[in-house]
Structure 1
């Protein structure tokens, strides 16, 4: 039985792939508005999957998912995956609460964080051996990679159980990453995206030329600025800040243009405008 904390873009995707794998899923949100929005997000995604013949019945998958208000109904879950905003303060508060609520023997507490050290989350609990990172990629139902991030205190049994869950139950490809900010993918990807933003900011090349260059010249499926929009400019900035805090390397520092866009609420696909504009 799986619990998911947060029913935003990533949390809903994680809940969906778990339910599509036949698991009983409880998704915890905060407030009736967020609960209703989460249900609508799940329904829309599963309806698309049914129309595209990825699943035989959206209704059958939805029957395995409950979206609830608050964390209390996660008490019996054997695996809980946190997928809230990329904030160390918010995540540590959730983990401290989950430690008190989740009662199943040997239950694993996991985070979908893309940059925050797992050690910081594990040490606010009384069970750091059962805490690790399980980092999915957007869109979760489509992308096969999952980064597993044990901390120095994570038990080997926890890591093996997480590997088996990802590989055998979800049918995705797990890789192991060290517990350092950014892990594998974002440790490589974020500096690349920041370099593209600096190139645009300096006037060296236009937005469209930067993106087209990587699509047509390096066989990337989309350009780095479009990819930043897909990730979310607020998330891109948060990951960059985590990387810079840990390594103090200039290539990780968020460019001023990125900071100003986030301040202006231009967050990318999630709200219709970032480096590109979306319907």
Structure 2
């Protein structure tokens, strides 16, 4: 049984995962090496809980109970020592993740499940640096975690069925929809999504259509709630490039997955989307309408 959950990484995904587990009644330790990031994460969780109160989906008492369920730590070893489940949600960097898994494998209790929120990196590779590959699994939440229902659950070849069943049950307990898949570059969500985003960027790069036209066609014609270029901005163009590179390398440098030069150029120039204030659209302009980046029309 899982009662105590440790979440490593207090960024957008980490604080969202901590939020949903704490709201579900679990004892949560949110871990990050940066105290300022932890402070920011708790403020973000509080703000998101206030939004739920405004929508009358939770009460003020439930907000207070959720926040009470969360403690923070800057020490990974201390933070995971009593965990039943550890979820790594650090930056999408393979070397960093391997280092974290080596640490938590040594520090977490023997029966603890080690999960990663990676959106594309091989679960098999991550599991290989531990002494308990049978206890390692992917638990890929979607952003924003408190809102999005899907949890993509990824087995590595050694993952025990009981571990998979436990994670599926946990996702359902959090009112999420679990989908179990096997380990492959990009899994299912990003194996399908990222080539679509990359193709949209290629279409812009080659002058086939403008930003607004590409997104409108996909929204109105294909019933997507958000166009692929706006979605890329929301995800972060650096994150998109990282995932596309994983697909490209994972499938043997197949040209089908080669990242668009425009995407690489935008990331190199720091145009990362919403988080930098500029991507395919310009943010913070005060307009309620999306403002297309004039340099990309």
TM-score > 0.5 by shorter chain? yes
CA distance in 1, matches of 2:257, 2:83: 37
Report the Cα distance in structure 2 between the residues aligned to 1:41 and 1:266, rounded to whole angstroms: 24
SS of the aligned residue for 2:280 comes to coil
Q: How does 1:1-279 map to 2 (within 5 A)?
A: 1-57=4-60, 58-71=63-76, 72-103=78-109, 105-167=110-172, 169-247=173-251, 248-279=253-284
Q: List alignment gaps of at least 5 residues for structure 2.
A: 285-297
**After the TM superposition, which segments of 4 or more aligned residues of structure 1 sit over 4 Å from their partners?**
none
Let me know the Cα RMSD of the aligned residues: 1.1
Post-superposition shift, 1:100? 1.2
Unmatched tracts of structure 1, length 5 or more: none
Tell me if the contact between 1:194 and 1:251 (Cα under 8 Å) persists in the aligned partners.
Answer: no
Q: Using a 3 Å threshold, how does the CA distance of structure 1 residues 50 and 271 change in structure 2: closer, same or farther?
A: farther
| Greater shift in the superposed pair: 85-94 or 254-263 | 254-263
Report the 3-state secondary structure (helix = DSSP H, G, I; strand = E; otherwise coil) of the residue aligned with 1:160: helix
**Superposed CA offset, 1:13-50 (max 9, x none):** 11111111111110101122222222222222222222
Q: Residue deviations 1:66-105, cap 9 Å, x none? A: 12212122210100100011111010011001011112x4
Whether contact under 8 Å (1:243, 1:252) holds in the other structure is yes
- Answer whether contact 1:116 1:242 (CA < 8 A) is retained: yes
Q: What SS class does the counterpart of residue 77 from structure 1 fall into?
A: coil
Conserved? CA contact 1:5–1:27, under 8 Å: yes
Which whole-Å CA distance do the structure 1 matches of 2:79 and 2:232 have between them? 35
Maintained 8 Å contact 1:19/1:61 = yes
Determine if contact 1:38/1:67 at 8 Å carries over to the other structure. no
Q: TM-score of the superposition, structure 1-length normalised?
A: 0.96
* Contact 1:149/1:177 (8 A) holds in 2: yes
For residues 81 and 184 of structure 1, the distance between their equivalents in structure 2, rounded to whole angstroms, comes to 20
Measured against aligned partners, the alpha-carbon deviations of 1:132-175 in whole angstroms (never above 9, x if no partner) come to 100010111111111110101111111111111112x2121111
Task: State the 1:271 CA deviation.
Answer: 2.7
The answer to which of 259-268 and 32-41 deviates more is 32-41
Matched pairs, number: 277
3-state SS of the aligned residue for 1:177?
A: strand
Could you tell me how far 1:262 is from its partner in structure 2?
A: 1.2
Paired with 2:46 and 2:256, the residues of 1 have a C-alpha distance of: 40
